Amino acid sequence: MGDVARLAGVSSQTVSRVSNGFAGVNADTRQQVLAAMRELGYRPNSAARALRRGEFRTLGVITFSLSTLGNIRTLDAIATSAAREGYAVTLLPVAVPTQDEVNGAFSRLGELAVDAVIVIMEVHLLDAATVSVPPGVQVVVADSDAGDRYTVVDTDQAGGARDAVRHLLDLGHGTVWHLGGPEDSFAAQRRANAWRATLAEAGVLDAPPLVRGDWSAESGYRAGLRIAEEADCTAVFVANDQMALGLLRALNERGRRVPEDVSVVGFDDIPEAASFLPPLTTVHQDFAEVGRLCVEGVLRKMREGAGEGPEGGQGNGRGEAREGEEHGTTLVPTRLVRRRSTAPPPAQSTAPPSASAR
């Protein structure tokens, strides 16, 4: 730093302010310092900076799966938002979601020197009742039902599913089938629960059987072959767009036209959904906002010292929410994107709207 200061003709303090991105340095002076850094090959020592400041400018991310589109897009949004705030991201996938694996992940992240942790908890923990976070670690959880224990950011899964089912009912369909995600998924569970509840609220007491897939287009295709054999099926709400793609293929192969014979609604609004044949009506998730709120939330907890109670005392030692600490769930709204995969059922294509539609 002294060499840079001498070459640039400024003080070491000015070099420090430039290297740390602080304001209050004249633009010409800043460029002069940066030019000197480049000429000398100077790079700030992040390890020394971390020891001096007591922070590493790094967020850890624990995720239990990198195979699902939702997790990948959430991770991408977290990394992008963290970079905007000047933080790097250290990723640690966990193969088996158990207490020992989670505790091991937190230990490894501690060794890797991170300031806080975001957990993308998309599947049920096998022993969720005993899962806890090490004391002193600031945590935000994405996509979980742990809102009473931790700070959680999630898409409004139930609201999006209700909008999808109501859209189909309002078109005049007497009932709606559901192609759901895997049983161990929080998101799949909430979407399926909302599907059942919305049908019940509409007076449909005998819901069709739930058909499950594993989020993949191939599982949607296999389930779609079964659904296509149900002659009375005129509408399907699918728990994600990739399974909807497989369903569209199966219906086409079995001679069931979309939307003339069967209407289909997906969930996610992946970029390719508008290019499906026909373009897919789906529920849009704002992954970028989920990622931004996760980063914003965990940085706020760090800056406000959320690891201590309201009177300055220590927390409960389990990493759970304490009285006075921010906790609960922030839901990011969804919206229904109407395209050409939905229409009134065949018998009502020219009939007036149903009572629910009015």
Instruction: For residues 248 and 252, give the distance between their C-alpha atoms in angstroms, rounded to a whole number.
Output: 6
DSSP tag of 115: S
Rounded Cα distance, 252 and 339, in Å:
18
Closest C-alpha to 294, from 144, 191, 123: 144
Q: What is the pLDDT of residues 17-51, one digit of tens each?
A: 887 666 678 889 988 998 988 888 887 655 555 55
DSSP labels for 45-112? Answer: -HHHHHHHHT--SEEEEEES-SSSHHHHHHHHHHHHHHHHTT-EEEEEE-SS-SHHHHHHHHHHHHHT
Residue predicted with more confidence, 353 or 206: 206
Q: How far apart (Å, rounded) are the C-alpha atoms in residues 335 and 310?
A: 38
d(CA 87, CA 146): 26
Question: Do 243 and 218 contact (CB within 8 A), yes or no?
Answer: no
What pLDDT, on the 0 to 100 scale, is given for residue 352? 41
Q: What is the pLDDT of residue 114?
A: 83
Of 80-84, 139-143, 203-207, 209-213, least confident by mean pLDDT is: 139-143
Q: What is the pLDDT of residue 52?
A: 55
Distance (Å, whole) CA 137 – CA 298: 10
Report which DSSP code applies to 340.
S
Q: What share of the chain is helix, strand, coil (3-state, %, to 5)?
A: 40, 15, 40
Confidence (pLDDT) at 127: 54
Provide the percentage of residues in the chain whose pLDDT is more than 90.
51
Tell me the C-alpha distance between 212 and 192, whole Å: 10
Q: How far is the C-alpha of 244 from the C-alpha of 218, rounded, in Å?
A: 10
Residue-level pLDDT at 179: 98
Average pLDDT over residues 212-220: 96
User: What does the pLDDT average to over 198-206?
Assistant: 95
1 is written with which tokens? 């730093």
| 300-336 residue pLDDT tens | 988 876 443 333 333 333 334 333 345 688 999 999 9
Residue 237 carries which side chain, given as an amino acid letter?
F
- Listed in sequence order, the residues at least 6 apart from 129 whose beta carbon sits closer than 8 Å to its beta carbon are none
Distances (CA, A) of 184 to 222, 230, 238, 240: 20, 27, 17, 15
- The rounded percent of the chain whose pLDDT value lies above 70 is 80
**Burial of 231 (C-beta count, 10 Å sphere; 0-12/13-18/19+):** exposed
Phi, psi of 114 (to 5 degrees): -120, 155
3-class DSSP state of 267: strand
What confidence score (pLDDT) does residue 131 get? Answer: 58
Three-class SS state of 284 = strand
Which pLDDT value is given to residue 337?
98
pLDDT of residue 244: 98
- The model's pLDDT over 244-296, given as tens digits with 9 standing for 90+, comes to 999 999 999 999 999 999 999 999 999 999 999 999 999 999 999 999 999 99
Average pLDDT over all residues of the chain: 83
- C-beta of residue 188 within 8 angstroms of C-beta of residue 182: yes
How much is the pLDDT for 38?
Answer: 86
* 83 pLDDT higher than 80: yes
Which strands form 335-337's sheet, in the order they lie side by side? 211-212, 177-180, 235-238, 263-268, 281-284, 335-337
Lowest mean pLDDT among 89-98, 133-142, 224-233: 133-142
Interatomic CA distance for residues 210 and 34, integer angstroms = 61
Cis-peptide into 259, omega within 30 deg: yes
Residue 277, CA atoms < 13 Å, CB-side half-sphere: 4
Among 71-75, 108-112, 310-314, the range scoring the smallest mean pLDDT is 310-314
